[in-house]
Amino acid sequence: MIKAVVFDAYGTLFDVYSIGALAESLYPTHGAAISTLWRDKQIEYTRLISLSDPHSPAGSRYYLPFWELTRLSLRYTLERLKLASTVENEDALMGQYAQLTAFPENLGVLQALKAKGMATAILSNGNPEMLSSAVTSAGMKDLLDHVISVDSIKQFKTSPSSYALVTQYFPVQNDEVLFVSSNAWDALGATWHGFTTMWVNRQGLPHETLGPKPSYTGENLTKVLAVLSVLNTQAST
């Protein structure tokens, strides 16, 4: 029986590539390249930080909040693409990142989950301030029971300690959590942790060849409702 549905934020609820439109207006013909490299470098930095100091009880000594990593990743991206970086452009892009566009089906899915009485949360690498901004601007604040940030432990996903945060907020077993992410690496990490998982494969990518496949796969968030129906029907029979 699934008792809580927990979502990744960036890429799953919020479209990290929607920043490309503003990037294109600031740097014509480079918008897509900026949004892609920016995201890749951002995730690379989270892994570098966690892997370089994975066992400290106080978290990685190299930890920086996700907002700072996002800004540093942007600076790297512009330099890598040999584009002029100005304070005005950087602030504009970071301001847009704070209020990323939500995928269109999200509110309807979250509303349906709340109508069913399902506990809901975000588990994200984002720090609390940037998550609060994104959740509020998307109108999701009243549809989530918790917004959980790895900032409290200073270890990014896919560190096991990051996924363990969920059961600190909900009195559930790992397999009673449906964890939903559009990032295949995140879905795999959550699967290894013992969650029931759903990968939102928006881009039609192949499954990772490392490790088990996620429990379920869908093209967008609406599949969550169908998955819940199947799982909870099975649990009641």
CATH number assigned to the domain comprising residue 193: 3.40.50.1000
Provide the token pair at 191: 């699967």
pLDDT at position 237 is 65
Task: List, by residue number, the catalytic residues.
Answer: 8
Residue after which a domain boundary falls, among 34, 67, 97: 97
Which of these ranges, 211-215, 223-227, 232-236, has the smallest mean pLDDT?
232-236
CB 8 within 8 A of CB 182: yes
Residues 34 and 136 in one domain: no
How many domains is the chain partitioned into structurally? 2
CB 213 within 8 A of CB 192: no
Residue 230 CB partners (closer than 8 Å, separation 6+): none
Residues 209 and 147 in one domain: yes
The 10s digit of each residue's pLDDT in 159-207 is 999 999 999 999 999 999 999 999 999 999 999 999 999 999 999 999 9
pLDDT at position 54 is 86
Residues 111 and 193 in one domain: yes
The 10s digit of each residue's pLDDT in 120-156 is 999 999 999 999 999 999 999 999 999 999 999 999 9
Residues 93 and 118 in one domain: no
Amino acid present at 11: G
Residues 135 and 226 in one domain: yes
Q: What number of other Cβ atoms are within 10 A of residue 129's Cβ? A: 14
Domain extent for 85: 16-97
- Give the span between the Cα atoms of 102 and 36, in whole angstroms: 18
- Residue indicated by tokens 């999701």: 140
The 10s digit of each residue's pLDDT in 42-73 is 999 999 999 999 888 889 999 999 999 999 99
- Give the span between the Cα atoms of 203 and 36, in whole angstroms: 13
Q: Kindly state the percentage of the chain with pLDDT values over 70.
A: 99
Residues 75 and 92 in one domain: yes
- Give the span between the Cα atoms of 195 and 225, in whole angstroms: 17
Residue among 20, 30, 7 nearest 80 (CA): 30
Which of these ranges, 74-83, 126-135, 148-157, 224-233, has the smallest mean pLDDT?
224-233
